[in-house]
């Protein structure tokens, strides 16, 4: 393993990496640091060719010491799918979707859970606790079940019901709360303090980012190590965009990609857009968004603990932040399904709405390579859709079409 | 492309492959035949290493002429996951699950649809029609949407509701029927006859099998071309097990695997077990199973058109057929989730029940390599499960655990 230490994303303080860690003393999230010079000397692009198509192919850039501690369900190397018809409609000739719905538990959260749970197992954790809007709870409870770690999950009652089932079926201790994820976070925070559970809330432990980072590594590899121009990411807690940015900078340091990074775009919903507001005001942190609500439930994060790291990534890459409406999101779910065959989640559909805005504004140029991240499969969000479907009797003939 | 012709699985009659074809004049399903000698001379195992991890890596063994006709959403190369804890419980040290839930549309049906729709597009099809128990409809309508082909889908009202949404959202013309898939088949059959739609019912066109075949190709590659001892497959229409058998025989002919094939096991539910009954009676065909019903809805096929091909595969490989109870299936869904973190469909869970029976009987030996096929993700079947989940208020503390 090439991990050297943990480093605070806010104040730069360093910590030893072989002990369990949550936030820095200053309250900042910790980042995992590697001996990148040594990785550069020990790993070649060619080495990857013979490895399995999962995220563990990048093991030198991941924080697990012993391969026996890896908890895996085959996650990673999700497809990069060209959106030919939709690209033509937007006037974009290189529009792609990376489909994270094809991961275990049906969302991008599996990446963070696979790496986070593996490292928790390696460091001797017995019980984890977390608040969730749904997908993270589903992923962490599944990987914990596989690892033999107990999981305590607190989820808003308003989260899609399917998430309850996926947590409960793998044996998580699941609780619902009438409120937002911030209320769930309060309950978890008190329990962690009093009972010593390991807190795996977003960015409160350093290893989830490392899993999410593999989205960036895969995009780079899938583009033959020539990075795309723009990456568009639906941003709730922001770990995905933080992870992608971290990945690309690490690839620069080992000399595998060039100087120019893709412009990162954070997409939020109009009903909960604290990072968009902060970006418009060119601030370094966001403010708590009151009365947050959107059909893209995973984006209902009124104040992300890592907001300043997300914003730093947008500024550093000359990216931007875009808010889109629920109406446009729901329309996009159907358009993307009908045109490209991809039934994706509302959060993923939001990236398409953002790309449409940015192409229309000229911020994205027609021949730029653009990657939209779909963070989850549409099957988890069928409650948001309804259709009238005719019923026949066995002896009926099909009506005229 | 290395396709030479189509051949009837029943009478051996041959047909030209560049024209649209359904069943043979004798009523038998048609199989695609290749110039395997030429493939042997033109393709090496090493060629595969640099290809994408999707089913199109086996393109020489697939029936699409022009790569521009390939309709893909990145399907294939699903993970082979070791079931360490469950294997230990059954006394099996090499128990694996191939997780087909990680395909587009959340089931193994994506393989048949990807190849079937690609070939239909290549041959100029404009409208397809099919009866379905759900998953096939979801897959074919999604791939048809991507291809720009109209799809007409008829599904029993009793199929899980989520399948309606996945067909409707991609723009399929969807109809429900109060009855079984055989009733849906009747409606489709009359419409096809009168209106000229292309009939893509199970085994009524030759290319779906070719997509399913890639499960067998992947298993062989994932085992380093040394085949496992036993493959356990949940069998409704039977295309999966037919495809796997066909794949392994083709690999034998090109010299990539040895003489001994895995013993194929067809798993059915006690409430619909026509192939198990036929196998027990050592017959070459099954009889219509009256009043078919099981919680593993995809297995509700009272009389499969390819039953005789499935049975031939069981006899040729010295395999067997096993029926399992709904009670055991539902229990297995929860056990597999809680022990291994894998939330799978009832059909997939049925394979575990069968493996448990066969290990207990001594039919499977402790050190044999066994692959269970999970045909779909559990997210599509949450209606079959229920849990009591406590609700907290924001100021509440977690109860004692």
**Pairwise CB contact (< 8 Å): B102 & A104:** yes
How far is B370 from chain A, CA to nearest CA, in Å?
Answer: 17
Enumerate residues 6+ apart whose C-beta is below 8 A from B395. none
CATH code of A80-106+209-384, in short, is 3.40.50.1100
**Pairwise CB contact (< 8 Å): A102 & B103:** yes
Q: Kind of pairing, strands A198-199 and A230-234? A: unpaired
**Pairwise CB contact (< 8 Å): B187 & A154:** no
Sign of the Cα pseudo-torsion (A347, A348, A349, A350, in order): positive
pLDDT digits (tens, 9 = 90+) for A332-389: 999 999 999 999 999 999 999 999 999 999 999 999 999 999 999 999 988 878 899 9
Of A54, A152, A380, the CB nearest to B79: A54
Q: What is the pLDDT of residue B182?
A: 87
User: Distance (Å, rounded) from C-alpha A311 to C-alpha A282?
Assistant: 9
Tokens of A100: 């994270």
pLDDT digits (tens, 9 = 90+) for B280-333: 999 999 999 999 999 999 999 999 999 999 999 999 999 999 999 999 999 999
Chain A residues in contact with B103 (beta carbon < 8 A): 102
pLDDT digits (tens, 9 = 90+) for B191-244: 999 999 999 999 999 999 999 999 999 999 999 999 999 999 999 999 999 999
Burial of A127 (0-12, 13-18, 19+ CB in 10 A): middle
User: Distance (Å, rounded) from C-alpha B186 to C-alpha B154?
Assistant: 10
Assess contact for A209 and A31: CB atoms under 8 A.
Answer: yes
User: Distance (Å, rounded) from C-alpha B306 to C-alpha A251?
Assistant: 52
**Pairwise CB contact (< 8 Å): A391 & B175:** yes
**Pairwise CB contact (< 8 Å): A390 & B176:** yes
**Where do we find the tokens 């849906």?**
B184
Reduced to 3 states (helix: H, G, I; strand: E, B; else coil), residue A231 is strand
Chain A residues in contact with B169 (beta carbon < 8 A): 333-334, 337-338, 343, 378, 385, 387
Chain B residues in contact with A174 (beta carbon < 8 A): 387, 389
**Pairwise CB contact (< 8 Å): A145 & B338:** yes
User: Distance (Å, rounded) from C-alpha A189 to C-alpha B351?
Assistant: 42
What is the Cβ-side half-sphere exposure of residue A136, based on CA atoms within 13 angstroms?
31
How far is B144 from chain A, CA to nearest CA, in Å?
Answer: 7
Assess contact for A39 and A254: CB atoms under 8 A.
Answer: yes
**Where do we find the tokens 């492309």?**
B1
Of B53, B379, B401, the CB nearest to A173: B401
Of A71, A75, A81, the CB nearest to B73: A81
**Pairwise CB contact (< 8 Å): B176 & A144:** no
Assess contact for B131 and B204: CB atoms under 8 A.
Answer: no
Containing A362, the helix (H) or strand (E) segment is none
* Angle formed at CA A281 by CA A276 and CA A283, multiple of 5 degrees: 90
Among candidate residues B15, B369, B37, B398, the one with its CA nearest the CA of residue B224: B369
**Pairwise CB contact (< 8 Å): B170 & A338:** yes
Q: What residue spans define the domains of chain B?
A: 80-106+209-384
Enumerate residues 6+ apart whose C-beta is below 8 A from B332. B349, B350, B352, B353
User: Distance (Å, rounded) from C-alpha A182 to C-alpha B166?
Assistant: 32
Chain B residues in contact with A102 (beta carbon < 8 A): 74, 102-104
Q: What is the pLDDT of residue A210?
A: 98
**Pairwise CB contact (< 8 Å): A187 & B394:** yes
Q: At what angle do helices A326-340 and B135-147 cross, to 10 degrees?
A: 90
How far is A340 from chain B, CA to nearest CA, in Å?
Answer: 4
Among candidate residues A151, A192, A193, the one with its CA nearest the CA of residue A172: A151
User: DSSP 3-state helix, strand, coil percentages of chain B (rounded to 5)?
Assistant: 45, 20, 40
Containing B354, the helix (H) or strand (E) segment is helix B346-360
How far is B46 from chain A, CA to nearest CA, in Å?
Answer: 10
Of B169, B342, B385, the CB nearest to A343: B169
**Nearest-Cα residue of chain A relative to residue B55:** A79
Q: What is the mean pLDDT of residues A271-288?
A: 98
Tokens of A371: 């990657």
In a mutational test of the A interface, the residue from B84, B140, B341 whose CB has the highest number of chain A CBs within 10 Å is: B341
Enumerate residues 6+ apart whose C-beta is below 8 A from A281. none
User: Distance (Å, rounded) from C-alpha A70 to C-alpha A179?
Assistant: 35
Q: What is the mean pLDDT of residues B14-31?
A: 97
In order of A43, A77, A268, A359, A370, the CA distances from A230 in angstroms are 27, 19, 16, 11, 5
The reply to whether the predicted model has a pTM over 0.95 is: yes
Does ipTM exceed 0.90? yes
Residues in chain B: 401
pLDDT digits (tens, 9 = 90+) for B70-119: 999 999 999 999 999 999 999 999 999 999 999 999 999 999 999 999 99
Chain B residues in contact with A173 (beta carbon < 8 A): 401
**Pairwise CB contact (< 8 Å): B170 & A390:** no
pLDDT band at residue B49 using 50, 70 and 90 as cut-offs: confident
Res B160 pLDDT > 90: no
Of A165, A183, A379, the CB nearest to B387: A165
pLDDT digits (tens, 9 = 90+) for A70-108: 999 999 999 999 999 999 999 999 999 999 999 999 999
**Pairwise CB contact (< 8 Å): B144 & A341:** yes
Q: Kind of pairing, strands B127-131 and B150-156? A: parallel
Assess contact for A328 and A351: CB atoms under 8 A.
Answer: no
Among candidate residues B161, B99, B153, B159, the one with its CA nearest the CA of residue B133: B159
Res B343 pLDDT > 90: yes
């Amino acid at each position: 393993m090439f991990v050297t230490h943990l480093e605070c994303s806010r104040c730069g303080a360093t910590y030893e990496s072989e002990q369990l860690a949550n936030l820095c003393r200053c309250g900042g999230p910790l980042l995992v640091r590697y001996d990148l010079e040594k990785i550069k000397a020990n790993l070649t692009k060619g080495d990857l060719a013979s490895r399995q198509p999962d995220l563990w192919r990048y093991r030198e850039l991941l924080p697990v010491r012993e391969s026996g501690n890896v908890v895996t369900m085959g996650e990673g190397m999700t497809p990069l799918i060209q959106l030919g018809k939709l690209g033509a409609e937007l006037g974009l000739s290189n529009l792609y979707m990376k489909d994270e719905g094809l991961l275990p538990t049906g969302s991008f959260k599996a990446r963070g859970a696979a790496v986070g749970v593996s490292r928790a197992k390696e460091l001797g954790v017995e019980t984890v606790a977390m608040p969730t809007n749904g997908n993270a709870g589903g992923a962490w409870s599944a990987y914990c079940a596989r690892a033999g770690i107990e999981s305590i999950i607190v989820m808003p009652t308003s989260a899609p019901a399917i998430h309850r089932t996926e947590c409960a079926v793998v044996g998580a201790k699941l609780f619902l709360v009438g409120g937002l994820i911030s209320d769930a976070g309060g309950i978890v925070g008190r329990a962690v303090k009093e009972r010593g559970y390991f807190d795996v809330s977003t960015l409160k432990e350093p290893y989830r980012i490392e899993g999410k980072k593999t989205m960036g590594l895969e995009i780079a590899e899938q583009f033959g190590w020539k990075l795309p121009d723009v990456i568009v990411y639906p941003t709730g807690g922001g770990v995905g965009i933080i992870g992608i940015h971290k990945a690309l900078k690490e690839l620069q340091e080992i000399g595998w990609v060039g100087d120019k990074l893709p412009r990162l775009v954070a997409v939020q919903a109009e009903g909960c857009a604290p990072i968009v507001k902060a970006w418009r005001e060119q601030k370094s942190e966001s403010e708590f968004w009151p009365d947050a609500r959107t059909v893209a439930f995973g984006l209902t994060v009124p104040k992300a603990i890592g907001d300043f790291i997300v914003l730093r990534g947008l500024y550093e890459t000359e990216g931007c932040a875009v808010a889109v409406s629920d109406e446009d999101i729901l329309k996009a779910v159907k358009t993307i399904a009908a045109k490209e065959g991809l039934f994706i989640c509302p959060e993923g559909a939001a990236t398409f709405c953002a790309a449409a805005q940015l192409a229309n504004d000229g911020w994205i140029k027609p021949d730029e390579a653009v990657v939209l991240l779909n963070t989850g499969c549409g099957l988890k969000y069928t409650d948001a859709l309804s259709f009238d479907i005719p019923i026949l009797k066995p002896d009926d003939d099909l009506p005229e079409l």
